Amino acid sequence: MTVQELLQNKSGTMHTIDRQETIVKAMECLIQNKISCLPIVEKKCLIGIISDKDIFKAIFENRSHFEELSVSHFMSTELIVGVADDNIEYISNLMTKNRIRHIPIVAESKLVGLVSIGDIVKAKEKDIKFENRYLKQYIEGSYPG
């Protein structure tokens, strides 16, 4: 399965945030939408990403004044990205190797999607269910092929 196929089957809105927004605003967006990261986009181009872990660290390190700090202080700018033609196995391996939970998907530097580890697990689960059904039919002799 390719990233493009995964994104086509994915429902919901992709939330983003501006680099000038406060950490508190980013937290509010994450909590309200039950998500764990926000891409930072300017003129449709991906410039960074901030995760719940980044925010947690920011609060810990700036306990007395974190409310004033903007997303730009803590966003990651050295990003690992994917493209629509990538295979989800490749994306899964990137996530595992780099210990990250999200991969932004870009086309010509523009953000076109976001793949989470949960998306990968769901896609693999579908493949396993399909394969199990096929194998059961084959073993039972009911497979038409």
**CATH number of domain containing 108:** 3.10.580.10
According to the model, what pLDDT value does residue 51 have? Answer: 95
Query: Which two three-digit tokens encode residue 43?
Result: 């003129």
Tokens standing for residue 139: 């073993």
Answer whether residue 81 is part of any domain.
Answer: yes
75 found inside a domain: yes
Q: Say yes or no to pLDDT of 97 above 80.
A: yes
What is the extent of the structural domain holding 80? 3-140
CA distance 122 to 115: 11
Provide the pLDDT for residue 55.
Answer: 93
Q: What pLDDT score does 111 carry?
A: 95
Q: Quick: pLDDT tens for 2-26.
A: 999 999 988 778 999 999 999 999 9
Count of domains observed in the chain: 1
The backbone torsions φ and ψ at residue 109, rounded to the nearest 5 degrees and listed phi first, read 70, 0
- Average pLDDT over the chain, rounded to an integer: 89
In a domain, 145, yes or no: no
CB hemisphere CA count around 17 (13 angstroms): 27
**Spatial distance between the Cα atoms of 132 and 8, rounded to a whole number of angstroms:** 24
